[in-house]
Structure 1
Amino acid sequence: MEALAVRLSGLDPYVDGAMRIVAFYDTLMRRRVDLPALARASAGLAECVAGIRLHGSGRSTRVSPHGTAAATPAVPASTEVAVTLDEEEIGTVWLERPGPPHPLDEVLLDRFALAAAGAAERYGPARTTMADPALVELVISRGTDDAARARALRLLGFAPGLPVHVVAVRTRLPLDRVGALVCPSRPVKAAPLADVGVLLAAAVDRTGFPEGVRAGIGAAEGPDRSWRRARTALRFTSPREPVVHHADLGALALLADIPEEAVRDNPDVTALGRLTPEDLETLDTYCATDSVRRAAELLHLHHSSIARRLDHIGRALALDLSTPTGRTRARLALLTGRLLDEEASGGARDDGPFRG
């Protein structure tokens, strides 16, 4: 094989150069260089500025051909390649070559990206978003002692003392994609656990959740407690409010602790089961807005139609929905009924009788 390689390199200068690049990076990987050293070596080999950016840290490293930090501002990359680890894109490597790319730049960047993935995995926690479910479960379990929890967090890439929010997610989208959207520049790990997805994140942008995702967010007050509260918040989600932070629930969170038997025996909740899905949507919208006209706007109906529906619903529930007490009872019945439906279905469906 080596003899064949020598013959090929003698016939084609491109092959000779490519083989030298491959050998160069093979040597760097055997020497187990870190990312800064890899960037310096790549810039020297390419004779232009070379850069590395890992999505997990959000930081970029740019090095000049002289081995020093490149001057800013950055020049637009002439060529770039994604860095992948475990089939997930974790970053990018690039060259900032003045003028057109060199014929061997593609080979150089391919090997640069491969070496960067190895260095990222070797010199720190893997920068992939997806994590070992067993480690994640260890972090959020109530029975884990402090030392084991701290060790699991370190293995997952969370520095000691770093706040950790736990998010309970139900989605058909890949969990790593959801994690990257809601925590783009801070540590975030994801894992499926039983019937729900789990995100561990240093910060959560609740506006970043894609459409169709249901998410309950726990505060950064200890991962085990945050997990329990995230699960509770997830039970309060609905198509109208798909993302709920436990801290925003306040006293409403107490509804999740009401025994199932007591909910089933409540006459207000029982009466909701006799309403049509259309009536339930009207009632939920009216309770959420506290306005016939605003509910009509949201449901794209005339306000007189909404008023007639509410009159019919009020008679069916034996409630005067024009009074604060009537609206409060209706809203509490909707919420507790939704929680009951969520508990019974395990959150697997969106069409239960109490879904708003």
Structure 2
Amino acid sequence: MEALAVRLSGLDPYVEGAIRVVAFYDTLMRRRVDLPALARASAGLAECVAGIRLHGTGRVIRVSPDGRQASAAPAPASTAAPVTLDEEEIGTVWLERPGSPNPLDEVLLDRLAIAAASVVERYGPARTTMADPALVELVISSDSDEAARARALRLLGFAVGLPVRVVAVRSELPLDRIGGLVCPAGQVKAAPLGDVGVILSTAIDPARFPAGVRAGIGAAAGPDRSWRQARTALRFTGPREPVVRYADLGALALLAEVPKDTSRDNADVAAIARIAGSPEDMETLDTYCATGSLRRAADVLHLHHSSVARRLEQIAKTLDIELTDPTGLTRARLALTAWRLLDD
């Protein structure tokens, strides 16, 4: 190879320069430099301002030939090239050369773009919460192979080998704000997928979800399995319990596997549907099922226990379930949960 390079350089000065540029970037890539170092080296080689921008994060690096961050206002790019990874354009590199471009500028930018893509794949982008939905979907999809999933996680900035927990979210609040609150210190990424927001993180604090957010938290298994668990947990959320961890559902998670037609045909679930038009009855039954005690339910509802007892007596007749019996209370709880799952 070296002998060929010598012969080629003897034929054309441009070829000699191009070979030297290629060798320069090969050396940088072997040294595993980061993006700022890559920009500094490029600016020094080109003897003009060099820039790198990543589309997914909005990160921009502009460096002067002296190796310092360029302080002057950006000049129009004299030459630019896309940064591509796995056939997707993830950024741009450019030179801000006064006057006409140098004949070797295109070669320089071509190698800079290749090196920048290599750095992004190795180290991932700078920390930011919002992420490319396509990358997030690749991480959580059950159809992704492990190599593609690992590559997507690296591009999102997650270190190899760390468990990633997935959260399914429904909220009017911005996803980046929610992600920053529930994981203030660790790596976190978020993206909307259809009608559900997705948060990926190495650690989640359920107590930090703000009011108005419903969230299902998957276990820290594989991201695809954690996503399925998170979606299931989200179905169990409600006004009384807006954040649900899949790990806390236990056997209740099995209810999510029951076909909806089967649930609708169940006598207890059908009975719940008959009282669903009465908010007062539903609130009373929900509170009683949650507390398991008439007096505690009365305290929560701010009613006299005799009033709650009369309500429950009427509800029990409609449901044809003895609510004061342990078995009857269990039936009511299961039926109420199964009925709620019908709406999701």
TM bucket normalised to smaller: 0.5 to 0.7
In the aligned structure 2, how far is the partner of 1:169 from the partner of 1:200? 11
In the aligned structure 2, how far is the partner of 1:208 from the partner of 1:273? 34
Equivalent position of 1:235 in the other structure: 235
Task: Decide whether aligned partners of structure 1 residues 31 and 248 sit closer, same or farther in structure 2, where only a CA change above 3 A counts.
Answer: closer
Give the partner amino acid of 1:335: T
Q: Does 1:278 align with 2:280?
A: yes
In the aligned structure 1, how far is the partner of 2:153 from the partner of 2:38? 29
Deviation at 1:303, TM superposition (A): 1.5
In the aligned structure 1, how far is the partner of 2:319 from the partner of 2:281? 11
Equivalent position of 2:300 in the other structure: 298
Normalising to structure 1: TM-score of the pair?
0.63
Give the partner amino acid of 2:290: A
Contact 2:165 2:220 in 1 (8 A): yes
Equivalent position of 1:165 in the other structure: 165
Equivalent position of 1:337 in the other structure: 339
CA RMSD of aligned residues (A): 2.7
Deviation at 1:306, TM superposition (A): 1.0
Equivalent position of 1:102 in the other structure: none
Match of 2:219, SS?
coil
Runs of 4+ off more than 2 Å: 29-34, 121-124
In the aligned structure 2, how far is the partner of 1:272 from the partner of 1:250? 23
Deviation at 1:188, TM superposition (A): 0.4
> Which of 317, 327, 336 is residue 325 of structure 1 equivalent to?
327
In the aligned structure 1, how far is the partner of 2:242 from the partner of 2:260? 23
Match of 1:261, SS?
helix
In the aligned structure 2, how far is the partner of 1:155 from the partner of 1:302? 59
Larger radius of gyration: 2
> Which of 36, 39, 43 is residue 32 of structure 1 equivalent to?
39
Deviation at 1:32, TM superposition (A): 3.2
The runs of 5 or more residues in structure 1 that have no matched partner are 1-28, 35-84, 88-110, 343-356
In the aligned structure 1, how far is the partner of 2:230 from the partner of 2:38? 45
Equivalent position of 2:291 in the other structure: 289
Contact 1:181 1:208 in 2 (8 A): yes
Equivalent position of 2:318 in the other structure: 316
Contact 1:179 1:199 in 2 (8 A): yes
Task: Decide whether aligned partners of structure 1 residues 318 and 30 sit closer, same or farther in structure 2, where only a CA change above 3 A counts.
Answer: closer
Deviation at 1:272, TM superposition (A): 1.1
Equivalent position of 1:219 in the other structure: 219
Equivalent position of 1:141 in the other structure: 141
Deviations 1:14-58 (A, max 9, x none): xxxxxxxxxxxxxxx898359xxxxxxxxxxxxxxxxxxxxxxxx
Match of 1:273, SS?
helix
Deviation at 1:127, TM superposition (A): 1.6
In the aligned structure 1, how far is the partner of 2:327 from the partner of 2:248? 22
Equivalent position of 1:351 in the other structure: none
Contact 1:286 1:292 in 2 (8 A): yes
Number of matched pairs: 239
In the aligned structure 2, how far is the partner of 1:279 from the partner of 1:33? 69
Q: Does 1:198 align with 2:198?
A: yes
In the aligned structure 2, how far is the partner of 1:229 from the partner of 1:213? 18
Match of 2:343, SS?
helix
- The 5 Å alignment of 1:34-183 reads 86=58, 124-183=124-183
Match of 1:180, SS?
helix
Task: Decide whether aligned partners of structure 1 residues 278 and 33 sit closer, same or farther in structure 2, where only a CA change above 3 A counts.
Answer: farther
Contact 1:86 1:128 in 2 (8 A): no
Q: Does 1:184 align with 2:180?
A: no
Give the partner amino acid of 2:236: F
Match of 1:284, SS?
helix
Give the partner amino acid of 2:266: N
Equivalent position of 2:104 in the other structure: none
Contact 2:218 2:245 in 1 (8 A): yes
In the aligned structure 2, how far is the partner of 1:86 from the partner of 1:306? 57
Normalising to structure 2: TM-score of the pair?
0.65
Deviation at 1:292, TM superposition (A): 1.1
Equivalent position of 2:81 in the other structure: none
Contact 2:217 2:244 in 1 (8 A): yes
Contact 1:125 1:156 in 2 (8 A): yes
Equivalent position of 1:23 in the other structure: none
Equivalent position of 1:54 in the other structure: none
Deviation at 1:341, TM superposition (A): 1.3
Equivalent position of 2:260 in the other structure: 260
In the aligned structure 2, how far is the partner of 1:154 from the partner of 1:171? 28
Deviation at 1:154, TM superposition (A): 0.3
In the aligned structure 2, how far is the partner of 1:301 from the partner of 1:186? 45
Contact 1:229 1:246 in 2 (8 A): yes
Match of 1:127, SS?
coil
Match of 2:309, SS?
helix
Equivalent position of 1:245 in the other structure: 245
Match of 2:39, SS?
coil
Contact 2:124 2:158 in 1 (8 A): no
Deviations 1:98-130 (A, max 9, x none): xxxxxxxxxxxxx69x9xxx9xx9875132100
Match of 1:326, SS?
helix
